[in-house]
Amino acid sequence: MIRIRPARRGRLVASAAALCLLLTGCAGQAASTSDPAASASAAQAQRSREARAAEASASRAAASSSAEAVRASAAAEKSAAAEASAKASRAAASAAAEEAAAEEAARAQAEAEAAAAQAAAAEEAARVAEEERLAQAATVAEGLDDSPPVSFTIPSIGAGSDLMRLLLRDDGSLAVPPAEPGSPAAWYANSPSPGQVGPAVLLGHVNATDGSAGVFAHLTDLAPGDTIEVEREDGAVAVFAVDRGVTYGKDEFPTDEVYGDTDAPELRLITCDGYNAFTREFEENHIVYATLVDVY
């Protein structure tokens, strides 16, 4: 306990001041005496809070880092998957292109082989045709063997019939086929067979006894190039092409030109022409000259 001695006023003031300072110091000392434990506790609490905060921050940082790593990994995997998909697509496209190219090459090869086969077939056909043409030309030039004709047709004038065989009459004149309606034409049997080298001679009427058209009614309508087909007993068909048609007076009949020898197979068609209504006779003959051009 502090005792205060009485003093003079000035000393009292100073003593009071000193007392105040003393009390203050005591109070501060007292406070200082009780602070260390509290301060330690407070510091411990502070450190605990800071540790928890640091731990939470570290946890958050770790979580954030982990999430970022997961996102980065996912992004990397997605990018890798996209690249793999793109590579697969490119590979598939390349494979498809190669397959298409292979198919196109196969088609081109097949087309080339087909074209080559067609060309070879065409070449072979042309060769065979040329051989046949040459053989036919040789046959036409050399003529056929003897075989009597059995029928004839002339497509351009719609004429045709079976063929009779006629010889000479007793007086040496050439016999003629019958003049009844529908009578056929005839082959002069002393002339070459149609297709043999020389002039084969066929005869036919221009009209019939009843005035109807005969088998050679339109013989004068034939033009150069028209064909005459004669079928023979051996099955061959001799095809002749018309060279010309000439009309002669009966007293001007060109015997040598009609019956004389020739170097090639030829054909003569003979009929009457130049009807005289007053005498009721034909005063002319019309003769068609033709040459062998084909045999089948």
CATH at residue 266: 2.40.260.10
**113 located within any domain:** no
**212 located within any domain:** yes
Domain housing 215: 146-295
Which segment of 87-91, 215-219, 277-281 scores lowest on mean pLDDT? 87-91
Nearest C-alpha neighbor of 220 from the set 207, 230, 238: 207
How does residue 66 score in pLDDT terms, banded at 50, 70 and 90?
Answer: confident
Place of tokens 């084969």: 200
pTM greater than 0.75 (yes/no): no
- CA separation, residue 44 to residues 33, 84, 230 (Å): 19, 57, 142
Task: Summarize pLDDT for 254-270 with one digit per residue, the tens.
Answer: 999 999 999 999 999 99
Domain count of the fold of the chain: 1
**246 located within any domain:** yes
Determine the average pLDDT of the residues in 161-171: 95
Determine the average pLDDT of the residues in 240-257: 96
Determine the average pLDDT of the residues in 137-145: 82
Is the pLDDT at 27 greater than 90, yes or no?
Answer: no
Task: Summarize pLDDT for 84-106 with one digit per residue, the tens.
Answer: 888 888 888 888 888 899 999 99
Is the pLDDT at 11 greater than 60, yes or no?
Answer: no
- CA separation, residue 131 to residues 111, 147, 186, 236 (Å): 30, 25, 35, 19
Task: Summarize pLDDT for 69-89 with one digit per residue, the tens.
Answer: 778 888 888 888 888 888 888
Which segment of 132-136, 208-212, 257-261 scores lowest on mean pLDDT? 132-136
DSSP state of 194: B
Task: Give me the helices (H) in the chain, please.
Answer: 9-142, 255-259
Q: What is the pLDDT of residue 34?
A: 53
Nearest C-alpha neighbor of 266 from the set 242, 232, 236: 242
**206 located within any domain:** yes
Q: What is the pLDDT of the chain when averaged over all its residues?
A: 85
Determine the average pLDDT of the residues in 235-252: 97
**154 located within any domain:** yes
**222 located within any domain:** yes
Which segment of 47-56, 97-106, 163-172 scores lowest on mean pLDDT? 47-56
DSSP state of 213: B
The answer to whether the CB of 248 falls within 8 A of the CB of 254 is yes
**289 located within any domain:** yes
Residue 25: how many CA atoms within 13 Å on its side-chain side? 6
**259 located within any domain:** yes
